[in-house]
């Protein structure tokens, strides 16, 4: 799986790092040049009963971009677009469903 990075448009020391597990981390490079710790974590919690073999594949983030002002992040996985406010890491501001016609065909 692929990891993606995106630098903040106005704070060059901050970058967003997304993982194949569906999480996005904000990293302040003034703290450490390594990506081994993060300042904020953005992810949606799932109930353990809803996890399946395909959950990680579908949750894998394929792209992440900052808004021009740097306040929002837009992430794309296989089934959704999620808009995140970087000041509010409890969950996305809104979620847009993509490929909704595929939901009934999911095998999990």
Of 55, 16, 50, the closest CA to residue 8 belongs to: 16
Percent of the chain with pLDDT over 70: 76
Comparing 105 with 16, the larger pLDDT belongs to 16
CB-based contact 35:17 (threshold 8 Å): yes
pLDDT tens figures, 14-46: 999 887 778 898 988 887 666 666 778 888 876
* pTM of the predicted model as reported, rounded to 2 decimal places: 0.77
Q: Per DSSP, which regions of the chain are E strands?
A: 4-7, 14-18, 24-28, 40-42, 63-66, 72-76, 80-85, 94-97
Q: Is 52 a residue whose pLDDT tops 60?
A: yes
- Determine the pLDDT at residue 18: 86
DSSP type of residue 40: E
Q: Is 1 a residue whose pLDDT tops 50?
A: no
């Amino acid at each position: 799986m692929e990891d993606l990075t995106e630098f903040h448009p106005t704070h060059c020391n901050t970058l967003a790092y997304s993982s194949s597990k569906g999480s996005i981390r904000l990293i302040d490079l003034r703290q450490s040049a390594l990506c081994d710790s993060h300042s904020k974590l953005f992810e949606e919690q799932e109930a353990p009963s809803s996890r399946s073999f395909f959950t990680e594949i579908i949750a894998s983030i394929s792209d992440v971009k900052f808004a021009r002002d740097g306040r929002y992040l837009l992430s794309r996985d296989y089934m959704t677009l999620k808009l995140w406010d970087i000041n509010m890491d409890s969950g996305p501001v809104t979620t847009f469903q993509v490929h909704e016609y595929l939901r009934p065909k999911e095998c999990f």
